[in-house]
Chains A and B, each alone.
Chain A
Amino acid sequence: MKARLYAIAAAGVVAGAGAAWLAAHQPPDRPTEPDAVLTLVVGASLIGCGLASWRSRPENRLGPVMVITGFLWFAGQLSEASAPWLYTFGSAIQYVWAVGLIYLLLSFPSGRLRGRLDRSLIWATAGLFCMQLLAMLYGNKAGIRCPGCPDNLLQVVHDNHKAQAWLNLERLVGGVVIATVITVLVTRWVRSSPAQRRAVAPVLVAGSASLLALVWTVTFDLLGDPLSSLPATVWFYTSATVPIAVLYVFVQRRLARGMVAGLVVELGTQSPSGDLRDALSRALGDPSLELAYWFPAENCYVDGDGRPVALPDAHSARRATFVEHYGQPIAALLHDPVLEHNAELVSSVCAAASLALENERLQAELRARLVELQASRARLVEATDAERRRIERDLHDGTQQRLVSIAMSLGLLESKLPAQAPAQPLVRETREALAVALAELRELTHGINPPLLTERGLAAALDELCRRAALPTRLELSLDRRLPDQVESAAYFVASEALANAAKHSHGSEVRVAAADDGEHLIIEIADDGIGGAATAGGSGLRGLADRVEALGGRFTVSSPPGRGTTLRAEIPCA
């Protein structure tokens, strides 16, 4: 590989020397464009940058394309030779190197043409070469202005007008083709992402300058060369910058890999979330970079907040690169497709960041588990509420009904017994004991799920609760809508437990219950005027209330300074 490149370089030096010699040793009556320096600059730029690119990115065919273009350029300079056959050959292929230049611009950075239009443009440029040959059937190079030129061996008929006509047609068609190429490049630029633009900008700028200069040259040729060789000179110089730009982009990518070292240092000194994405985004040069972390429990990728992330598919405008650590998936980098052309950079960044990514992944997993936990707590509360309603309904429809019907039978039995029957008192006693059992059962079912709460809502249920409270209770309500079941029942049980606590422990004389709906939260506050000092820790009922409220994403606070009463406050989201 290396030897082949050196051999090509040596051949390039020989070709360049020859072309420069030809340019420098022109008879004074022949037009010399380009001169020796320009000949060397363009050729050396193409072959040199081509070889460097070839070495740097052997898989990319742009290196070889530039090298071939360089040799074609030098070969075109044979049109300056004195030997007729060299002169004829050089004149025939004088502009073929431009095909390579246009191929370069259209296929950058991958080295592959992207579609039918690109291929047609290349074929059209090649077609211009045929027109050059046709022109040469009729006349010498330019036919008119070349008195000192050697014989044109292709010439069949001497007709300078026809030769000129073919040349003008070649220039016209050439102008159209070049304009199309410029349009294609501009369209591509407009449609590309910021990362893609960054990647192709130098080549596009150099290429556009060169193509515009070419249009300028062709236009002035058609108009009869009022500025002589100036436009062509500009075109040649700008063309020389294209390979340099290509090499610059390739080398810059290699330099970007040097950023990886910087990335490693950066990752060592800081690691809060978000910064990792920024650091990777800088190292990869893709502002749109997103990170997704592997969440094994759910077999999916999640973002930093633990929410599931959809990975781009084949038709998406994004690409995913997967990062593994000891064979285990850690994360996915969602990035611009342009990074696919720089796979080494992406893989070295991934390798450098894998530890930091694993760290982030663990944090994301933790957050995902918290999200999951919160959801499962909420489901638990919901399930508990549903279960309470079911038990209440079952007791109402089953046990209670059955016991009531037994009580009725006993009543009937009692009425059928003679007034003085010895069993009479026993039956009455049984019936009354059953009535007590039924009353207890009623209290129990009411405690499990007060029917009023389900049927009439929180306001009515709180009203009823306060009326039944063991301490005088004042109720302040600012509620004019039904809230979700779990919210209502959490608030109800907070109030119910707080009132029971106040009656049992506060030694107070009065309780105030306030419930208000501010549109986003239900706020319920229960305050007594007792001795305070309520303990929230341990297995107290307050812990259970806090759990219930927090499971719904709410806040539960207890303020109970000794001697200044106890205030319970719950804020439950209900938007």
Chain B
Amino acid sequence: MRVALADDAVLLREGLARLLKEAGFEIVGLVGDGDALLELLERTRPDVAIVDIRMPPTHTDEGLRAAKVIRERWPTIGILVLSQHVNTRYALELLSTGTDGVGYLLKERVSDLDELSSSVNRVGQGGSVLDPAVVAELVGRRRQADNPLEQLTEREREVLALMAEGRSNRAIAERLFVTEHTVEKHVKSIFGSLCLPPSSDDHRRVLAVITYLNSQ
């Protein structure tokens, strides 16, 4: 899989490139800001663009803006936005344009090579990735006692969080050391409790779940 990398911090950019190479990805180029990234994508058309959210010139949300442009110009290129902050609002803004081939991860998450390569692969294959810290923040919000979310069991909450991270039933099953069938049962029960229409498509349900979490 071919990957483009945009981050103004050289130390992190080079470190990340090394990790990705180690994990077997092909790096098509390393750049330091949004404009350079768009130019690189135009030339190389990789499968995934990994973008730091804070880049020159304003050091605020350039990565996010670059992501919007990439979505419009090259809908098939997966986008993985990296951030140093847990910024739920930015993560949801990113995913609200469509969850196919989009991801939001904390930078420190990439130190786990397995986690990194699975995230890049998921985004490259049109799936979605939402950082566990963001999901924890969404699920962990305090709500009134009568809120349906407060009625879920501990296990159902775990499954809900993993769904929101963009994981498939099989991945959830592996993570929780249960069978895929058990996960399916949990998912059905969760959707029932939250009155969400049942969805078999792993990609679609991410959006449904995070939209629900954010609205409550």
Q: Which residues of A contact B (CB under 8 A)?
A: 393, 396-397, 400-405, 407-412, 414-416, 431, 434-435, 438-439, 442, 445-446, 451-452, 454-456, 460, 463-464, 467-473, 510
Contact = CB atoms under 8 A, between A and B. Distances in A.
A403 B108 CA distance: 8
Which of A408, A416, A442 neighbours the largest number of chain B CB atoms within 10 Å of its CB? Answer: A408
B22 A438 contact: no
Given A405-B15, A411-B110, A454-B60, A439 B88 contact: no
B173 interface: no
A456 B133 CA distance: 21
Interface stretch (B33-41, B94-102, B135-143): B135-143
B182 interface: no
24 contacts: A396-B54, A400-B84, A401-B84, A404-B108, A405-B11, A408-B15, A408-B19, A408-B110, A411-B19, A411-B111, A411-B113, A411-B116, A412-B15, A415-B19, A415-B23, A431-B111, A435-B108, A439-B133, A442-B85, A442-B106, A452-B90, A455-B60, A470-B142, A471-B142
Contact of B111 (A410, A439, A455, A510): A410
B12 A405 contact: yes
B9 interface: yes
Contact of B12 (A404, A435, A438): A404
Contacts of B61: 455
Contacts of B11: 401-402, 405
Interface in B53-98: 54, 59-61, 84-90
Interface residues of B, number: 34
B6 interface: no
A467 B88 contact: yes
Interface in B116-170: 116, 133, 137, 141-144
Contact of B141 (A408, A452, A467): A467
A396 B137 CA distance: 21
B181 interface: no
B28 to A, nearest CB: 20
A328 B23 CA distance: 82
Nearest to A402: B11
A156 B142 CA distance: 127
B112 interface: yes
B206 interface: no
Contacts of A410: 111
Nearest to B61: A455
| Pairs A-B, 9 closest by C-beta atoms | A407-B111, A411-B111, A408-B15, A455-B60, A415-B113, A438-B108, A405-B11, A405-B15, A404-B107
Given A397-B9, A404-B84, A467-B141, A412 B22 contact: yes
Given A401-B11, A472-B143, 16 more contacts: A397-B9, A401-B12, A404-B12, A404-B84, A404-B111, A408-B12, A411-B112, A411-B116, A412-B22, A415-B19, A415-B23, A415-B113, A451-B60, A451-B85, A468-B141, A471-B142
A393 to B, nearest CB: 8
